Copies of this chain bind each other. A is one copy, B any other.
Amino acid sequence: MQIKPSIYWLFIFMPVALVLEHAGVPAPYVFFSAALAIVPIASLIVRATEQIATRTGDAIGGLLNATFGNAPELIISFVALKAGLFDMVRAALIGAILANILLALGLAFFLGGLRYRDQDYNPVAARVYSSMMLIAVVSLAVPSAFSRFFAPEETIRSETLLNVGLAVVLLVAYALYLVFMLKTHPGAFAAKGGHVEEDEGARWSLTRAVGSLVGASLLAAWMSEILVGAAEGTGTALGMTQVFIGIVFVAIVGGAAESGSAIVMARKNRMDMTIGIALGSSIQIALFVAPVLVLASYFTAPQPLELSFGRAEIGALLMAVLMGTVVVGDGRSNWYKGIQLITVYLIIAFMFYFLPVLTHSS
C-alpha cells in the first residue's frame, strides 16, 4: 500500500494539540499544534462547500463558496471576539488581507513562474478586484481615523451609528458585488482560455458533504479555542506582541487552505483561479467578514468591536493594495512579480515584529 502525501495527515496535530494543552507544556507548543491542526480542517470546510455547490445552480454555488470560503477566519475571529481579544481579532483581519494579497499571491506567482515563463489571466477581473480592495482600505481607514484622533479625548456622537452604518453600507456593496459577479457580468471574471472543468476527485453524497461541513466547522471552533487560548502565552514566551501573533500567525493559519489552493492552481497554470482565490478572499474579509464581526460583536462580545487600526496597519494595507494593483493590472505574471509581492510582505512583517507597542493605541 502506498502512502500519499496529503494535507489531511496534519489531522494528527488535533490530538497532539489536545494532549499538549492538558499536559501543561509551554504555550507555543500548544499554539503551533492547534495552528497545524486547523489547516486540514479549513481545507475540509472549503472542499465540503465546493461539493455542496456542485448540487446547486451556478449562482447559489458561487454564493455558497463566497460565503463559506472564509469560514475558518470567521470561526477563529468569533472565538477570539468572545474571549475579548479585540486586538488579535483586528490584527488577524488586517493580517489575512495582507497575507492573501502579498504572501499567497506572491508565492503563487513565484512558484507558478518557475514552471511557466509567463502566465496570463483576465485583466478585467484584476481591475475589479483592485477597486474592491481600495474600497476595503477606505472602509477600514475611516473608523480608524476616528478613534485615533477623537475617541480618546472626545465623545463620538453616536459611535454605534457610525459602526453599524458602515457595516451595513459594506454588506450592501458586497451583496451587489455578488450580483455583479454571478448575475450581470460573469463574463468579466471568466478565465481567458475558457472554462476548465474541475477534476478534484469523486463527487460526494449530499449527506457526506453537509455532514463534513458541519463537523469540520465544529472542529475548527474547538481548535480555535485552543489556539486563541494559547496565543497570549505564546506571545509572552516568544517575545512577540499580540498584534504580531495575530497579523502573521493567526492570519496565515486562517487562510492556509485558500492560500494552498491559490498556489496549486498557479502550478497548474490556471491563473484566473489563483487571482480569484487570493484577491477574492481578501475582499471577502474586508467587505463581509469584518462587518459581520462588527455586527455580531453587539450580540456576542463583551463590548462592541471597533475597526480602529493604527497608522502602521492602514499604511501597510494601502501599500499592499497599491502594490497588488500595479503588479496584477496587466494580466500577466512571472516569477519576479512573486518576489516583489513577497518582499513587500517581508518588510511589513518585519515592521510589525519590531513594533514595540500596540499600534492601534498610538
> A: which residues have CB within 8 A of B?
117, 123-124, 127-128, 130-132, 134-135, 137-139, 141-142, 145-146, 149-150, 154-159, 161-162, 165-166, 169-170, 173, 176-177, 180, 184-185, 188, 239, 311-312, 315, 319, 322-323, 325-327, 329-330, 332, 334-337, 339-340, 343-344, 346-348, 350-351, 354-357, 362
Contacts and interface: CB of A to CB of B under 8 A. Distances in A.
B347 A131 contact: no
Main secondary structure of the interface of A (DSSP, over half): helix
Contacts of A239: 157
A26 to B, nearest CB: 21
Contacts of A130: 326
A166 B132 contact: no
B354 A131 contact: no
A185 B176 CA distance: 39
A319 B145 CA distance: 13
Q: State the oligomeric state as a number of copies.
A: 3
Contacts of A354: 146, 156-159, 161-162
A156 B20 CA distance: 34
3 smallest A-B Cβ distances: which pairs?
Answer: A180-B336, A173-B343, A142-B351
Nearest to A185: B334
A289 to B, nearest CB: 17
A150 B350 contact: no
Nearest to A287: B343
Contacts of A351: 142, 145-146
Given A130-B326, A169-B346, A347-B166, A138 B319 contact: yes
Given A347-B139, A350-B162, A337 B131 contact: yes
Contacts of A141: 315, 319
A357 B176 contact: no
A257 B330 CA distance: 33
Contacts of A322: 134, 322
Given A162-B354, A346-B169, A340 B142 contact: no
A135 B362 contact: no
Given A127-B330, A169-B347, A327-B131, A184 B336 contact: yes
A305 B33 CA distance: 41
A146 B155 CA distance: 28
A127 B337 CA distance: 11
Given A146-B354, A185-B334, 18 more contacts: A127-B326, A128-B336, A132-B340, A135-B340, A135-B344, A138-B319, A142-B348, A142-B351, A145-B311, A150-B355, A150-B357, A169-B346, A169-B347, A170-B343, A173-B339, A176-B336, A180-B336, A188-B334
